[in-house]
Amino acid sequence: MSETDPLSDPASPAQPPASTMPVAVVASATTNIDERQWGMLAHLSALLGYLLTGGAGGFLGPLMVWVIKKDTMPFVDSQGKEALNFSISICIAFALLWTFGFMTFGIGFLIAWPLMVIVGLYALVFTIIASIKAYEGVAYRYPIALRLIK
């Protein structure tokens, strides 16, 4: 009886099975630092696109990251799609608000401008959260986004 069972030995801590471990631990164990950085870049590139194009081209950065790395890095493939879907959703929201403002001969902008600020802050906050989660190796899903690219 020289072999001891780690589950019956009180001195050795038992490790829980992988299915009961927190998602962040399981996800970060499968992604390396390069994948996590590219995943974070997929999310943050949307912010750069919003700033450079005034909100209209926020999807260009995630699109470029996703197209470049989707075949070689599975984590970047999933996070790139997620960032791209969210960016497209934000661009559609802004386009609808602009259209509403022009269709009402400018009067609708009294409603559209505050909504644009809210949508912009929503995009900023959730993009930062997503980029932090991606850097931690956690596959993040935005709470409200159209799932156009599967």
The pLDDT tens digits along the chain (150 residues) read: 455 554 445 554 555 454 443 444 345 455 788 899 999 999 999 988 888 887 777 888 899 999 998 889 999 999 999 999 999 999 999 999 999 999 998 898 999 999 999 999 999 999 999 999 999 999 999 998 888 888
Give the pair of three-digit tokens for residue 28.
């970060």
Q: Do the Cβ atoms of 138 and 23 come closer than 8 Å?
A: yes
Q: Report whether 98 contacts 119 (CB < 8 A).
A: no
Listed in sequence order, the residues at least 6 apart from 124 whose beta carbon sits closer than 8 Å to its beta carbon are 47
CA geometry: angle at 125 spanning 121 and 129, to 5°? 165
The domain segmentation of the chain, as residue ranges, is 24-136
